[in-house]
């Protein structure tokens, strides 16, 4: 049996001696786009940082394509084929678009950059512009592009919608869905815009107070959206704005 791209089992993690996650389990298969939903403070970002090696698990297991990743340093996790797009997009504002992309090639062929720009054609005429001068949507495209040029097998995206107008999010999500399918790339997407995330996801997990409270197909959870929002998600997510504590 082919191992899952990502398998998290009974993971407890947090900051100092205070756990923010309490025994969560989830998995993502190659080619799947899985949404991780929850209100601010639910533990979504903690989950992503722990998988990426930024935080050390207190207990539990993380496996990437069957290989242990628990407690590995970020560069070791990256070598397993994992890339993280953080909430701040992880770009260098004083470097140009082209320089940001070249920096992440990790010895790859320049043709990979052209392939990535095919996914985000709006960046092609902007390759000489400093990243700090891009719009929010362009910066998010660049953040995704910087992750993709490293040719990951597992992509972690923390709050794709952060700072974006809903119309921009609606344009980016289908592109992300296509990339996952075309590359057989496993994607774990943290998102507060529930309906938007479920419109492109295969499956989703809902976190509340550091625990997985429900999980299922996007269709199943979409049918329960009103109940989920009232019970666990703090009501309808507002338009993208300043991040909350997570």
Answer yes or no: is pLDDT of 66 > 90.
Answer: yes
Q: Would you kindly state where each structural domain of the chain is located, as residue ranges?
A: 6-81+152-231, 93-151
Q: In what order do the strands lie in the sheet with 203-208?
A: 82-85, 154-158, 186-190, 33-37, 203-208, 211-217
pTM of this structure:
0.89
Alpha-carbon distances, residue 34 vs 27, 71, 123, 211, 217 (angstroms): 9, 23, 26, 17, 9
d(CA 84, CA 142): 13
pLDDT at position 239 is 38
d(CA 34, CA 16): 29
Question: Residue 242 — pLDDT band, cuts 50, 70, 90?
Answer: very low
Answer yes or no: is pLDDT of 39 > 90.
Answer: no
Tell which wins on pLDDT, 241 or 147.
147
Q: What superfamily would CATH give domain 6-81+152-231?
A: P-loop containing nucleotide triphosphate hydrolases (3.40.50.300)
Pick the closest to residue 157 from 185, 183, 182, 116 (CA basis): 185
Q: What is the pLDDT of residues 196-235, one digit of tens each?
A: 999 999 999 999 999 999 999 999 998 887 777 777 776 5
Pick the closest to residue 140 from 118, 114, 162, 112 (CA basis): 162
List of E strands, 50-153: 59-64, 67-68, 82-85
pLDDT at position 244 is 42
Beta strand 154-158 with 186-190 is: parallel
Question: Residue 109 — pLDDT band, cuts 50, 70, 90?
Answer: low
Chain-centre distance for alpha carbon 100: 19
pLDDT at position 130 is 97
Q: What is the pLDDT of residues 123-180, one digit of tens each?
A: 999 999 999 999 999 999 999 999 999 889 999 999 888 878 888 888 899 999 999 9
The neighbouring-strand residues paired with 34 are 188, 203
Which one-letter DSSP state was computed for residue 204?
E
Poorest-confidence range of 34-38, 81-85, 234-238?
Answer: 234-238
pLDDT at position 190 is 94
């Amino acid at each position: 049996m082919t191992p899952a791209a990502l398998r998290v089992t009974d993971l407890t993690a947090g900051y100092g001696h205070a756990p923010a996650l309490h025994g969560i389990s989830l998995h993502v298969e190659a080619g799947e786009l899985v949404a991780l939903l929850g209100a601010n403070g639910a533990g979504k970002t903690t989950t992503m940082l722990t998988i990426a090696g930024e935080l050390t698990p207190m207990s539990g297991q993380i496996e990437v394509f069957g290989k242990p990743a628990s407690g590995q340093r970020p560069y070791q996790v990256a070598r397993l084929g994992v890339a993280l797009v953080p909430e701040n997009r992880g770009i260098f504002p004083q470097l140009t678009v082209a320089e940001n992309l070249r920096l992440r090639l990790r010895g790859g062929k320049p043709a990979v950059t052209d392939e990535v720009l095919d996914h985000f054609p709006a960046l092609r005429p902007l390759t000489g512009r400093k990243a700090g001068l891009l719009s929010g949507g362009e910066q998010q495209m660049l953040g995704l592009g910087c992750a993709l040029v490293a040719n990951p097998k597992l992509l972690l995206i923390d709050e794709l919608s952060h700072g974006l107008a809903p119309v921009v999010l609606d344009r980016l999500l289908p592109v992300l869905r296509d990339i996952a399918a075309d590359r057989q790339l496993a994607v774990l997407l943290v998102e507060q815009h529930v309906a938007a995330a479920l419109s492109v996801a295969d499956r989703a997990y809902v976190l509340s107070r550091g625990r997985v409270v429900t999980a299922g197909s996007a269709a199943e959870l979409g049918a329960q959206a009103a109940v989920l929002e009232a019970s666990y998600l703090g009501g309808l997510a507002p338009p993208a704005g300043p991040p909350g504590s997570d």
